[in-house]
A = this chain, B = another copy of it.
Amino acid sequence: MGEDGTPSGRQERIAFMAEDAPRRQPTLDEVAELAGVSRSVASRALNNAPHVSRVKREAVERAVRRLGYVPNSTARALATRQTGAAALVVSGEDPSIFADPFFAQVIVGASAALEEADLHLMLCLAASDRGRKRVEELFRSKGADGVMLMALREDDPLARMAERATMPVVFGGRPVGSVPRWYVDVDNAGGAREATEYLISLGRTRVAALCGRLDTEAGRTRYRGYRDAMLAAGLDPFPPREGDFTESSGATAMAALLTERPDVDAVFAANDNMGVGALRALRGAGRRVPDDVAVVGFDDLAVAQVSDPPLTTVHQPIQALGREMARMLAALVNGQSPTALILPTRLVVRASA
């Protein structure tokens, strides 16, 4: 075997099959043979490319059905240089981040849009060193056709990887201090401004801001929106009071604020968690909400509806964020040139303000 010019491996495999492996997946060669055409015609027929006569096309279809043929996606990927998959990469410390309702919603939106574009969704967490290394390999080994990148911190190593990447990268939210070519963001500044203006329209004049991490773009931009609105109304903005987007940091910041500025009559919190924390601190201090102090949050997650009192908050379209990231990436993969996108926010008035 092999001496006669016939590839010995193939020989053996066929013999093997006939004996005891009837369920091996058929290959395109076999389809072509059964259909009585050449492999290239079969390929063209499958991808309904032109230059295939009606007769042969049907013969191929028949053979495909008879054999139960399904193209091997890996081989196809190697030949076309397209994997058919997109990765959603989330940067962060904690593996539980996927359980965060925010990301869960992003995943829902992205998953739906990718299905539409016939791309598979790979989920990658760049939390540990190991995770980051795997992501880097994904980037460099062309393991996906494109990447959606979220939750970058200042000087995030993922930012460098993204720059070097040879595949399209779409950012969810802008990374700190740079404006990538392709991203989808929420109108953080506008939302914060609207919330603050609303508080001012209620007649409040001593409106404070509880900020999120100021090493994130969202944290900074929301504070900036607040400040702009205050200045525009001729009021003195409070200095930023930084938290880290958690409930407890909101409570702490609020308590400190009450000590320093007992006259505060409204609070804009950088997100719902911090808003709920503020609510708790206010309750602890015996202040009534909204009578003594009005509170507005940001996000409109489920927690805003069940808090006591329910939280007035800036709604952001999180599923849409995921969806638009995925659509943008799909467009890039298909060679189109989408443009960056900023999604609108909307104030949802509940009892807390």
Interface, chain A (partner B; CB < 8 A):
23, 25, 68, 70-75, 77-78, 81, 83-85, 95-96, 98-99, 101, 104-105, 107-108, 111-112, 115, 118, 120-125, 128, 130-131, 134, 137-138, 140-143, 166, 306
**Interface contact B74-A142, CB-CB below 8 Å:** yes
**Interface contact B140-A115, CB-CB below 8 Å:** no
Beyond A121-B123, A125-B115, A130-B115, whether A73 also contacts B143 by CB under 8 A is yes
**Interface contact B166-A25, CB-CB below 8 Å:** yes
Beyond A23-B166, A141-B71, whether A123 also contacts B107 by CB under 8 A is yes
**Interface contact B85-A74, CB-CB below 8 Å:** no
**Interface contact B122-A70, CB-CB below 8 Å:** no
Which of these, B75, B105, B131, contacts A99 with CB under 8 Å? Answer: B105
Which of these, B99, B108, B120, contacts A101 with CB under 8 Å? Answer: B99
**Interface contact B120-A120, CB-CB below 8 Å:** no
Query: Which of A68, A112, A306 gathers most chain B CB within 10 Å?
Result: A112
Beta-carbon nearest neighbor of A76 in chain B: B141
**Cα–Cα, bound, A115→B122 (Å):** 12
**Interface contact B104-A99, CB-CB below 8 Å:** yes
Residues of chain B with a CB closer than 8 A to A124's CB: 120-121
Residues of chain B with a CB closer than 8 A to A70's CB: 137, 140-141
**Cα–Cα, bound, A83→B131 (Å):** 18
Beyond A85-B122, A101-B99, A131-B115, whether A142 also contacts B107 by CB under 8 A is no
**Cα–Cα, bound, A321→B74 (Å):** 30
Q: List 23 A-B contacts (CB under 8 A).
A: A68-B140, A70-B140, A71-B141, A72-B141, A73-B142, A74-B77, A74-B142, A74-B143, A75-B78, A78-B78, A85-B122, A95-B111, A95-B112, A98-B107, A99-B101, A99-B105, A101-B101, A111-B125, A115-B128, A120-B124, A121-B122, A122-B123, A306-B306
The 8 closest A-B CB pairs, nearest first, are A70-B140, A73-B141, A99-B104, A73-B143, A74-B77, A121-B123, A74-B78, A70-B141
Beyond A108-B96, A123-B111, whether A72 also contacts B142 by CB under 8 A is yes
Query: Which of A23, A99, A130, A166 gathers most chain B CB within 10 Å?
Result: A99
Residues of chain B with a CB closer than 8 A to A128's CB: 115
Min CB distance A306 to B, Å, is: 7
Beta-carbon nearest neighbor of A71 in chain B: B141
